[in-house]
Each structure stands twice: as structure tokens, then as C-alpha cells.
Amino acid sequence: MPQQKTDIHELIASRRSIRQFSLKEVPREHLEKFVDAARLAPSAANLQPLEFVVVDDPALRKEIFPCLKWAAYIHPLGNPIPGQEPAAYIIVLVNLNVREKMYEYDVGAAVENMALASAGEGIASCWLISIDRPEIQSILGIPEHLRVDSVLALGYPAETSVVEEYRDSPKYWKDEAGLFHVPKRGRAAVAHFNKY
């Protein structure tokens, strides 16, 4: 039986980092699906050093939220406003007993898989690396051999973000209507065929 074709490029093109979320909870089965997408990502030498802590408990979400920094270019306008915080977090961990360095490639592939899997379900995400790692480690009781790498914030979107033509700066902005604008370099600026 032929499978229905998904336009993955359209999904990639429409996925943007979102920092304002609705109050709607993300179903646990979706969160499990996102972690599954992460574990299936490419891994250098197939060592698979990554593990994940999914946080969907409201009390724990409140504890994690102050450990995160959002949208530095437009701080504090990029911070989720009260009542529009993420509905869940996936904490990305690196098992240092498996791999102590060069794990960043694994992390990038895993997080992008999760971001695309969530976008496919209509759930927005924002990948955060400016975080208080020791505090997150303490709150969640994460053992010392696991390094807190980053956090993927998740929830149903309560804002819209659009791609803009890159001009002089990578800085994103919000307009008067609250629309998030993100400049991206054009294909002609980055794609070289056969020779540079």
C-alpha cells in the first residue's frame, strides 16, 4: 500500500522558534514520540550518548522556567509572558561515560528531529542553550556522569514567527503587532555547486 507523502521541506520551512505558548497541555504520547524521534537521529560512531528527561509536571515546569534565558537580541520582549510559558520541556543529557567530547553533532541531530516531530503535530518548540545547568541538574536529580546540554521548550504556539530576507544583521525582532521576524540568509548566498 503506498504511503501518503509528507512535504518535509514545507515542514522545515514553516518551523520557527516560538517563545509564547498557549495553556493547552502537550499530550504525553506526543512527548514520547518526540524522544523517539531523538533516539533515532544519527549518532557519531553510533555511540548514542544522549538521554532525555521529559518535564511535563506543572510544579517542576515552574522550577525549570527561571533556569532558562530567552531571545537575547530582544530581551525581555522575547521572554514568555506569565500564562504563556512552555507546557513541557525535554532536557537533553550527554552520558559522559559514553562520550566526553564531540557529542554536539549528536545533540544537534536529535534536537532537530524533535523540533520537526513536534512541528508535525502542530506543537511549537524553542531550543535553549543559555541555561543554568547546575540548577537544572539539582532540580531533576540528574547524576553527575550526565551533562545537561540543552533544553527543548515545547507547547502549542501563542505567537507567529516569519522568515525575513537577511540584510545586514542576524538580529530578529518583534513588530508592533507582536509578530516575530527572523532574518535568514538566502539560498544563493549559501549554496555553491561543484566549486566555490
Q: Are 183 and 164 in contact (CB under 8 A)?
A: yes
- What domains appear along the chain, each with residue ranges and CATH number? 8-160 (3.40.109.10)
CA distance 177 to 174: 8
Q: Are 56 and 25 in contact (CB under 8 A)?
A: yes
Structure confidence by residue, pLDDT tens digits, 132-165: 999 999 999 999 999 999 999 999 999 999 999 9
Structure confidence by residue, pLDDT tens digits, 21-74: 999 999 999 999 999 999 999 999 999 999 999 999 999 999 999 999 999 999
Structure confidence by residue, pLDDT tens digits, 74-90: 988 889 999 999 999 99
